[in-house]
Amino acid sequence: MKRRLTIVLVAFGASFISMIVLSIFSIGRFTTFTSYSDEVTRINGTITTIFRTEVIFKDIDRWERGYILMGDTTSLNNINATKDSLFRALDSLEFQLKDNPVQARNMIDLRDVIDKRMLCLDNNIAFVTSTHSNVASEHYLAGRRHTMAANRQFINMHIIENKVLADLIQKQKFYQKLTTSTLKSLLVIFCLVTLLLFSLLIKLMRSGMLYQETLKGKIIDLKRSHDELQEIAYSISHDLQEPLRKIQVFSNMLVVRKANSPEDDGSRDTLQRIHGFANRMQSLIYDLESLTNLTRIDEQKATVNLNKLTEQVVEGMRELIQSRQAVVRIEQLPEIKCYESQLQILFKALLDNALKFVKADTQPEIYIGYRISKGEELGELTQRLPNQQFHCISVSDNGIGFDNKYISNIFKIFRRLHNEESQYSGKGIGLAICQRIMTNHEGYILGEGKPDHGATFKLYFPI
């Protein structure tokens, strides 16, 4: 599953990078194509301006001949207006050609020729006006020579611009084809990559669905096994109760009968031991039933004030606490959402341990503290949630403690750190019940101790 997901991510990353590279390449080609298109438009505008300037220049010749032949003021007015248009056109053309050194020099030559032509025109008009002659004067003939020179300059400028235009059009067509082919290639690659990723995602989804179906089946099997184990534990605890009660009753009867028979002291002692072990067996079965019952949660979580809850637990154990002359100090505790009945069992078990595992000549001291902590304190238990906040409630005592090398055993069922003949009673199930309760609350319990210097159990409830 992880391998396929890695393949999809790698394929997506590679396709994403390829798409970016191709897109950048396409943008570059399109930008180049656009710049050539702009240049083609500019050159076309320049050629149009040259052509328009040439037409205006030829109009001056036409109006000049009209004035020579007719001598009317209309032609003269048209000459003056056309001269103004010509100079404006020359200014515009000069601006458009300023970035082309060759054309800029041609423009200087063209202006020089046109200025000479305009000087001949002015002299010719003055000659015609003064003489009223319609015969071509030397000024007119000189003007014709300058006109032909100007026309040659116009032709030369046309040739240069047309050559540049042809080269730009060729490059424009090339980049147009290149841009089109690049976009087509990009589209094809995008479609192929999309289909590839889609097929990989479909396979991943199918495998995920199969995995979910398998997981559901395993969960159902696990629940069935769990229910069966609960039924077995329930049946064992109930079916064993009756023969144990019979053993207790009959052994007790025999003890009573042998009470006044001094010669049967050995038999009476044996019967008392049988009766004691039967009682212990019944207690173990009761605790085992309590542990299995914790796997079934029948109540709803509620917000509980832990100060009130611990006070109730202490009050319920008042007789035992007073008999041991124990001191119980409780810090200000928070309100948490929990299963109230289970937390009562939890604190009762921890207080019971603190009172039980203490030296006979030592006054028990129990301290219940509180602080807010982070998941990083739990080490490997919550590597995924190092910043998760927890209500941390610690229960400390001054009892006999334990060696931390046995920490992995103390929460296991029926695991005791002391043998049966030890002066300290215990069935090895109390801390297993505590751990089960913390699991029901999605929390954790940790213990730490030091031989003859007490122990501390920390309860972590997720905030």
Asked if the structure places residue 444 within a domain, the reply is yes
Asked if the structure places residue 153 within a domain, the reply is yes
| 307 and 454 fall within a common domain | yes
Q: Which residue has the tokens 């063209």?
A: 110
Of 156, 186, 203, at which residue does a domain stop?
A: 203
Asked if the structure places residue 294 within a domain, the reply is no
Structure tokens at 229: 């184990």
| 331 and 443 fall within a common domain | yes
CATH assignment of the domain containing 351:
3.30.565.10
> What pLDDT shows up at residue 239?
65
Q: Please report, as a single letter, which amino acid is at residue 160.
A: I
Q: Which of 151, 169, 163 is nearest to 41 (CA)?
A: 169
| 37 and 171 fall within a common domain | yes
Which element (helix H / strand E) includes 456?
strand 455-462
Determine the Cα–Cα distance for residues 64 and 62; give it in Å rounded to an integer.
5
> What pLDDT shows up at residue 232?
62
Q: Please, which residues have CB within 8 angstroms of residue 155's CB and are 6 or more apart in sequence?
A: none
Number of domains in the chain: 2
| 195 and 336 fall within a common domain | no
| 33 and 146 fall within a common domain | yes
| 184 and 314 fall within a common domain | no
| 71 and 183 fall within a common domain | yes
| 447 and 317 fall within a common domain | yes
Asked if the structure places residue 242 within a domain, the reply is no
Determine the Cα–Cα distance for residues 370 and 460; give it in Å rounded to an integer.
10
Structure tokens at 430: 């109390």
pLDDT along the chain (463 residues), means of 10: 66 74 77 84 89 89 82 82 89 89 90 90 85 78 89 91 88 81 78 78 78 79 67 64 70 67 63 70 65 67 90 89 87 90 88 83 88 79 71 88 72 57 54 84 85 86 88
| 316 and 434 fall within a common domain | yes
> What pLDDT shows up at residue 368?
92
> What pLDDT shows up at residue 236?
63
> What pLDDT shows up at residue 62?
85
- In the DSSP assignment, the letter for residue 445 is E
Q: Which of 122, 117, 92, 119 is nearest to 107 (CA)?
A: 92
> What pLDDT shows up at residue 423?
46
> What pLDDT shows up at residue 413?
65
Asked if the structure places residue 264 within a domain, the reply is no
Asked if the structure places residue 345 within a domain, the reply is yes
Of 173, 203, 233, at which residue does a domain stop?
A: 203
Greatest CA separation for the chain = 180
Determine the Cα–Cα distance for residues 461 and 436; give it in Å rounded to an integer.
13
> What pLDDT shows up at residue 370?
92
| 66 and 192 fall within a common domain | yes
Asked if the structure places residue 146 within a domain, the reply is yes
Backbone phi, psi, residue 410, to 5°: -70, -20
Q: 148 lies in which domain range?
A: 2-203
CATH assignment of the domain containing 28:
1.20.1330
Asked if the structure places residue 457 within a domain, the reply is yes
| 18 and 149 fall within a common domain | yes
Of 184, 203, 222, at which residue does a domain stop?
A: 203
Strand partners, 372: 391
